[in-house]
Amino acid sequence: MKRYATLYLYFLRFSFSKAMEFRLDFSFRIIMDVIYYMVNILLFKILFLHTDLIAGWTEEQMMIFVSSYLLVDAINMTIFSTNMWWLPYFINKGELDYYLIRPVSPLFFLSLREFSANSFINLIIAFGFFTYSIATYSLPWEWEKLFGLLILMINGSLIYYCIQMLMVIPVFWTHSARGFVDLFYTLGLAMERPDRIFKGWLRVLFTVILPFGLIASFPARYFIEGFDTKTFFHLAMVSAGLWIVMLTVWRWGLKNYSSASS
Amino acid sequence: MTNWWRFVIAAEIRKILAFRTDFWITFVGQTLIQILIARALWQAIFESAGKEVMEGFTLHMMTLYYLLVPIGSKMLTGENVGFLSREIYDGTFNRYLIYPLSFFQYKTLTYLTYSAFYGLQFILVYFLYLIFQGNGITPSNVINLFLGASLFMIASYAYGMLAMFIELISLWADNIWTLMVMCRFFSFFFGGAYMPLNFFPMWLQEIVQFTPFPYLVSLPIRTTMGLASTIEIATGLGVLIIWAILFRLAASLLWSKGQFRYNGVGI
């Protein structure tokens, strides 16, 4: 465990020094993400000009949800996304070899090697908006609920990572340039909507099979309304199940990897 | 080389269809997912507001709007945007200097091939919608579809020139893909891809009319749906052409200045 922590510190040092090489790009990336945040906030602000409630939530409750998914997105952009971007390239070019022969878990190395330093600044901005949305929430709330919300958002980040991996891993078989990453980003829209709008089979899809609804909507719901035991059980089972499925498919993919001839 | 354009188009189509499984899963998946999520959201909004019509849109019209948005957006952005800056960065841009044809003509043709390909999907999906909805294909539907798809093709050219202008900045700066993403955010949000522009507050609607964005997404879709008047279409067409010319001139200016900065070995 200590060895992995030390290795991760090296990743951080390397990533920050690399980011500083391209200062203009560094600044542009921060501006880009700020625009993304503004577009998302504006979208719901405009929708609330036409209705008082969406999926049972008022505007200020919706802002807690919006700030939650922006924060989860920022966590993933900072920790995982750059690595996910390069993974299909490594698989197709046979460069995965260099990661498989190292004496550390290839999944750990390939998922965490590049820490996105510019996104870390955006993570701070997203956290600022999250804090603002909680601080301006007019209804009474409890500290335990806030703590629970943060824990569930970390769990949400892992769910997000698992689904993204499941969309990249098919590259082992298809050898395409990006796998189903474009489809993943479209599916990601489901994370940006309250889970209560999904009914019937669509609800099953987004809360069990591809559980985007569990990433930010369930955590926000916990803070705003609280959970019953059944919902907690659902969240725990789906999260654990998804992690197991991802690991199984990853191992399966590695078995299918044919090195430089891929 | 008189028929060079045929070879370019054929090569681009081969590229699009190289990974057929990925292509069709992504195409069907993206279209279906976006429409299902958008419909779920708007159904919740219509129910909460207790209205059947909001800003001139019924839930049924909103569904059609969001069916057309993803394919129209694909037409607009194609898949060929974002490569130029990378080619400048790694030095493979050299090939355009060797080809016995105009750099702008080549890039425009490859870009529009993608747009035309997605244009065919746009037409196919709209016809399928009409058939499954039981409304049937009427002459007015066909005319609106023809006008909407044509506007999208002109909008694609305008957006392609805007993208080219941004990408040529990479002759001065190392990495500009973030500028492209920002451009896409603005074009789609203020173009009406996230929601119809009628939902924007009036002051914001008035401001965006002075930008090219509403003519890139909202106008072609509203035209296809038969919601735009003849005057609106004619005015929009004129505005689009003016923006397309402006972006083309700006891109040419950057190219004429920037090509001398390119050293041929990459950065």
Q: Which of A196-200, B135-139, B177-181 has the lowest mean pLDDT?
A: B135-139
Inter-chain residue contact B174 with A179, CB threshold 8 Å: no
CA gap A18, A21 in Å, rounded: 5
Q: Which residues neighbour A209 within 8 Å (Cβ) at sequence distance 6 or greater?
A: none
The nearest CA of chain B is from the CA of A186 a distance in Å of 6
Element spanning B58, H or E:
strand B57-58
The nearest CA of chain A is from the CA of B137 a distance in Å of 30
This model of the complex carries an ipTM of 0.86
Inter-chain residue contact B41 with A52, CB threshold 8 Å: no
Inter-chain residue contact A50 with B55, CB threshold 8 Å: yes
Write the pLDDT tens digit of every residue in B75-92: 888 765 667 777 777 777
Amino acid at B117: F
Q: Is A26 exposed, middle or buried (0-12, 13-18, 19+ CB in 10 A)?
A: middle
Q: Band the pLDDT of A260: cuts 50, 70, 90.
A: low
Return the pLDDT at B19.
65
Does A32 touch chain B if contact means CB atoms closer than 8 Å?
A: yes
Burial A144-153 (b: 16+ CB within 10 A, else e): eeeebbeebb
Residues of chain B found within 8 Å of residue A197, distances taken between Cβ atoms: 40-41, 43-44
Say how far residue B7 (Cα) sits from the centre of its chain: 24
CA gap B3, B72 in Å, rounded: 29
Write the pLDDT tens digit of every residue in A9-44: 888 887 777 777 667 777 888 888 899 999 999 999
Return the pLDDT at B257.
85
Residue A147 has pLDDT above 70, yes or no: yes
* Cα Rg of chain A (Å, integer): 19
Return the pLDDT at A26.
78
Smallest CA–CA distance from B193 into chain A, residue:
A43
Write the pLDDT tens digit of every residue in B239-254: 999 999 999 999 999 9
Q: Given B30, B48, B179, which is nearest A183 (Cβ)?
A: B30
In total, chain A counts a number of residues equal to 262
Residue B101 has pLDDT above 90, yes or no: no
Inter-chain residue contact B45 with A187, CB threshold 8 Å: no
Which of A55, A56, A242, A239 shows the shortest CA–CA distance to A152?
A: A239
Supply the mean pLDDT for chain B.
86
Say how far residue A220 (Cα) sits from the centre of its chain: 15
Return the pLDDT at B98.
79
Q: Given A28, A46, A189, which is nearest B200 (Cβ)?
A: A46
% of chain B exceeding 90 in pLDDT: 46
